[in-house]
A and B are shown apart, each in its own frame.
Chain A
């Protein structure tokens, strides 16, 4: 167990160190935060008090909280790029794909989530939340099951990374679709009824919704406890099917010789 944890730690630190040593990453982070702030500020200007009625919370917080959660848990692209970059090593060396995925995931969490964490801290300082002990417990449970769901999604993206180049428009499109439908930019209630099922199928939707309800007192789609209970089996299902998909993909690449460098 210690050995496994040490390996995950090494993978995590390599990802983290490699990220923070690029000064341009911090420039991008600042631009990113400013962009989100600008959207929130502009929306508030545009809609005034009405926007709060539409979102249930001030627009700046609406976007900031959504982006924070999406950046924190929507970490699937890390698995995609990691598995695409080291696919030869994963196929030819002894590393367990599970350990590699977890190490890359946590590494990505510490790097990709940095803009989101900064964003949320900024927003919470502006609008300090008041939460009961029970709500804190619910929040912790929510984050745990959300990370599990995210790891499950990452397994699918890792399988894609083994087979395809990560620069294709397919992945940008998938990320864009997730961003649109998970409620970060558009409230779920504002999405046409016929398309809302897409939002409900994305695990991040429930995390973002429950997070806003717990921290910002917005009106959730259903009681937060039910959202967490819904996320738990969904997460486990995603991990199980995602893992099977990744191992199937590795086997298929070997058998069909569809390896790409």
Chain B
């Protein structure tokens, strides 16, 4: 669906993206994560035609995005000051119909507002809460019914409730067979929603794969907090850290660990699976 081959992008002499390649399959949610300045937004800008890559080809459905402007619904971080504030959500979507060069269809607009939960709200958008703004942004990207959706930092500045709403909207978009490519810093949310993830650092693809594949790259997958007797013999077999009355073991294969312990000697056990955040930190600190 989306292919990037050997993309290099420089801002003046500063090379932001270096020989980057990746593929995004149809109806997939693809996350790009990385530290600030890694080049995440630059990739999205190149994909949506805001800037042109210096080298390489980006294509959507086999069509080079430089030659054929792709039909991509896009959401970049929007400054509230740069939009009409005294119009309703319905009027805002009429305006965005023009920006996307699609038919101004009031029925479709009402349907979209229903999907995002803004139907029947007649207040001007400047009176919207942060969560309502986010729903309006999602309504804007759903409006043109394009197969590809690009979201830059969709959870930026959202509280937990609004983040949960956004996750639900992304799931709805996936059900609609949209191919979604997004950038974010919120690892738990990326882990929950993305089918595949690319870790980008200094414009290079550090690692790519589904969350399970990335977790497999870690030396261990689980942190086991345990208290009990006769645990010392495990310290030779598993990575170990003692802390007060608890023992901490870092294990890759949980079954192997459980089979190694004598359950009758255990008082308390707590297993914490490691997350994408640990993969991310480990990859970047290794570098």
Residue ranges of A at the interface with B (Cβ–Cβ < 8 Å): 3, 6-7, 10-11, 13-15, 17-18, 21-22, 85-86, 88-96, 99-100, 103, 253-255, 257, 259, 261
Contacts and interface: CB of A to CB of B under 8 A. Distances in A.
A17 to B, nearest CB: 6
B218 interface: no
A94 B52 contact: no
Q: Nearest 8 A-B pairs (CB), nearest first?
A: A21-B86, A94-B101, A92-B48, A18-B84, A85-B82, A91-B50, A257-B51, A7-B98
24 contacts: A3-B103, A7-B98, A7-B104, A10-B94, A11-B98, A14-B95, A18-B84, A18-B86, A18-B87, A21-B86, A22-B86, A88-B50, A88-B76, A91-B49, A92-B48, A92-B50, A92-B74, A94-B71, A94-B99, A95-B100, A103-B98, A253-B50, A257-B52, A261-B79
B165 to A, nearest CB: 24
A96 B100 CA distance: 9
Nearest to B88: A17
B69 interface: yes
A10 B97 contact: yes
A136 B206 CA distance: 72
If over half of B's interface residues share one DSSP class (helix, strand or loop), that class is named, otherwise mixed; here it is loop
A152 to B, nearest CB: 22
B19 interface: no
B57 interface: no
Interface size class on chain B is 20 to 34
Contacts of B101: 7, 93-96
A125 B11 CA distance: 59
B45 interface: yes
B223 to A, nearest CB: 40
A177 B81 CA distance: 28
B91 A17 contact: yes
B9 interface: yes
If over half of A's interface residues share one DSSP class (helix, strand or loop), that class is named, otherwise mixed; here it is helix
A254 B69 CA distance: 13
B85 interface: yes
B282 interface: no
A11 B101 CA distance: 12
B124 interface: yes
Contact of A86 (B51, B52, B82, B91): B82
Nearest to A94: B101
A170 B153 CA distance: 33
Interface string B134-149: 0000000000000000
Nearest to A3: B103
A259 B104 contact: no
Given A95-B99, A99-B98, A85 B48 contact: no
A11 B84 CA distance: 11
A194 B100 CA distance: 49
A86 B83 CA distance: 8
Contacts of B51: 253-254, 257, 259
B95 A254 contact: no
Contact of B52 (A11, A89, A99, A254): A254
A11 B49 contact: no
Contact of A257 (B11, B83, B86, B100): B11
Nearest to B48: A92
Interface in B213-261: none
Contact of A17 (B52, B87, B97): B87
Contacts of B10: 257
B100 A93 contact: yes
A96 B101 CA distance: 8
Contact of B49 (A7, A100, A254): A254
A39 B51 CA distance: 49
B49 to A, nearest CB: 6
A254 B53 CA distance: 9
Contacts of A103: 98
Contact of B86 (A17, A93, A94): A17
Contacts of A91: 48-50
A7 B104 CA distance: 8
Contacts of B99: 86, 89-90, 93-95, 100
Nearest to B51: A257
Contacts of B86: 17-18, 21-22
A100 B95 CA distance: 10
